[in-house]
Amino acid sequence: MKAIQSARRRGRLGTWRRRITILVLATTATVASYVFTADKPQNYQNLFAAVVAVVGLCALVLDWWVSRSIKRSGGVQAMRSGGVLSTGTAAMAGRLWAQGEGFRICGLADDAQKTFSEAASLAREAKQDALEATVKLSQGELAGERSEFDDAVRLFDDAAAKFQAAKDIRGVARTVTAKGFLALSRRAYDAARQNFEEARTLFAQENDRFGQGSAYLGLGEAGVRLNKTDEAAGNFDQARFMLTQVGDRIGEAHALYCRGELYRLERNAPEAQNHFERALTLYRRTGDYVGEGLVRLVISDGYRKMQRPTEARETALEAAQRFKQAGRRVGSSGLIAGRGDVRRCRVRFDWGRANGNTARNLFVESGDKDNESRLMIGLGEMERIVGNVEEARTLFDRVLSQSKSSEDLLIIADAQKGRGHVDIARGQQRSAREVLKEAYGHYQTVGGARDAAQALMDLAQVSVLMENPDRARVDYAQVRSMYQTLRDAHGEGSSLRAAGDLESSLGKLPEAQFAYAEARILFQSVGDRLSEADSALLIGLLAVNIDNATAAALLVQAGRLYRAVGAVEWQRKAHAMAQRVR
């Protein structure tokens, strides 16, 4: 995504080159004026030189004024589109907001903050209260992600005031919902409950079923945290009802899983099992590996209570495999393909942690250390994905310590790879590289071709972080070749997407878009619509403020794909950005 910023820098560089050229020509003309007026009096020479210098200065001022007017009108492309693309200061502010959202999605927080600030300034100048409020809402969410909670609250309050001034009730409700999620992250559960209740009421006024469903999910989580299980159960039922109506399969699965856990507390095993099976089906359809792993863990505990230890252990290992699959995705962006939705209903992971520890005891009691290690690797990946880096590190280190006497190199390699991911998250690139190298060697020794390709892709990511793009490019090409040998189109698409991230970080926009486009074709060939949607979204975001017509079309297409999968939240994001880019 840094390709966008690089393109903007190239645009500014072109502007400065033009202005320096004007300055050099003006200076040259001023000096030359003395040559052509050498036979004139000194005062005449000075006057003539001053006139030439003033003309050059006027040319600089005119260049600045025209460039500023074009930029604030939406750019040359928008002005030449014949009305297809909107023009004006507000249009430029909207595109900058969409660009900032792209930065935020891809984890480029500093770039997002700068772009949001510029967008807010332009929206304020255009006197667009709703647009300025939208930007402030994004700034508040970014501040919350960076744990700058006081700034986040201030920005949310500013956004709510602007939405109210613009009489945008849905915007106010979105802001109050964001404040509720922020309160949950700060463990202010009473405040979160109040915020979600207020948001639910506002969304109901606008007949926004998705908004109501999201608010009910938040109310359910707050109720669980406050030990108000009866209230939480009703809220999860309402959330499922609302989200089913708008086609949000991921949100529906969250509600079913959480309601099933509450049925377990009520000792209503048949209803709990029914909810878990329905949630598992939805998680499978949407490719949410984390959600699927959580459900399999709780089903494993059900088998344990039914005195069926063999099925319990097998199901727990299947859960660990799903977490391992989710941990294979390269990068730390907010996109959900290949991983799942970990933002909503985070109370699920508390239940998952407890169910995981119970499942682990099954292997401890049977003395099966190898399978215990496999389960701990899966739980470590879950903790890492959620953001609990220290807990993940502890689990991976325990596996490495426990597996010293093991003859299964795959277990050691999986633990080393997980530890390498943790080191990447902690900014310890050199340590990550050494550990991942060892893991790659183990995979090659035991013939784990797919795992070896994944480990090599992780090594390439470390090279990117260590600013060694040439080595990363070679590694990604080798990974693609390995997946082609295995006839794994999905893996090949993942390697291309990672290569696209590399090229975008280097500012090579055409190469990045080409890699994403190839990845999109491969994901389409294997029927992975969610990954296809993510690829279309990335291509569109790269084109913002460069080719806005193409960017808008791709963002709309991404939204349709998200809708088909059942990721309504991302569909709304894509369509909102497309509207602003137009």
Contact 167, 206 (CB under 8 A): no
Check whether 101 has a pLDDT greater than 60: yes
Check whether 343 has a pLDDT greater than 80: yes
The most confident of the ranges 2-11, 172-181, 538-547 is 172-181
Please tell me the least confidently modeled range out of 11-20, 36-45, 273-282: 11-20
Check whether 7 has a pLDDT greater than 70: no
Sign (positive/negative) of CA torsion 561, 563, 567, 572? positive
Report, as an integer, the average pLDDT of 418-445: 84
Q: Does domain 255-406 have CATH number 1.10.357?
A: no
Measured between alpha carbons, how far is 549 from 336 in angstroms, rounded to an integer?
A: 26
Report, as an integer, the average pLDDT of 452-459: 81
The Cα-based distances of 485 to 286, 328, 478, 479, 521 in angstroms read 28, 19, 11, 10, 18
Confidence (pLDDT) at 11: 42
Q: How confident is residue 9, by pLDDT bands cut at 50, 70 and 90?
A: very low
The most confident of the ranges 22-36, 230-244, 318-332, 438-452 is 230-244
> What is the dihedral angle through the alpha carbons of 226, 232, 233, 235, rounded to the nearest 10 degrees?
180
Confidence (pLDDT) at 71: 53
Instruction: List CB contacts of 476: < 8 A, sequence separation 6 or more.
Output: 457, 460, 495, 498, 499, 502
Q: How confident is residue 557, by pLDDT bands cut at 50, 70 and 90?
A: very high
Q: What is the full DSSP assignment across 171-214? A: HHHHHHHHHHHHHHHTT-HHHHHHHHHHHHHHHHHTT-HHHHHH
Check whether 290 has a pLDDT greater than 70: yes
Scan for tokens 């633990």, then name that residue: 415
| SS (HEC) of 429-466 | HHHHHHHHHHHHHHHHHHCCHHHHHHHHHHHHHHHHHC
Check whether 66 has a pLDDT greater than 80: no
**Residue pLDDT, tens place only, 138-175:** 999 999 888 888 999 999 999 999 999 989 999 999 99
Structure tokens at 520: 């999109």
Report, as an integer, the average pLDDT of 304-313: 89
The Cα-based distances of 576 to 131, 520, 571 in angstroms read 11, 22, 9
Measured between alpha carbons, how far is 398 from 412 in angstroms, rounded to an integer?
A: 11
∠ Cα 348 351 354 (to 5°): 150
Check whether 275 has a pLDDT greater than 90: yes
Report, as an integer, the average pLDDT of 254-281: 93
Which one is predicted more confidently, 256 or 418?
256
Check whether 80 has a pLDDT greater than 60: no
Check whether 87 has a pLDDT greater than 70: no
Of all residues in the chain, what percent carry a pLDDT higher than 90?
33
Which one is predicted more confidently, 446 or 478?
478
Please tell me the least confidently modeled range out of 198-212, 287-301, 326-340: 326-340
* Domain chopping of the chain, boundaries: 2-72, 255-406
Check whether 202 has a pLDDT greater than 80: yes
Check whether 386 has a pLDDT greater than 90: no
Scan for tokens 């772009």, then name that residue: 115
Please tell me the least confidently modeled range out of 275-279, 458-462, 490-494, 540-544: 458-462
The most confident of the ranges 103-107, 413-417, 493-497, 554-558 is 554-558
Contact 215, 192 (CB under 8 A): no
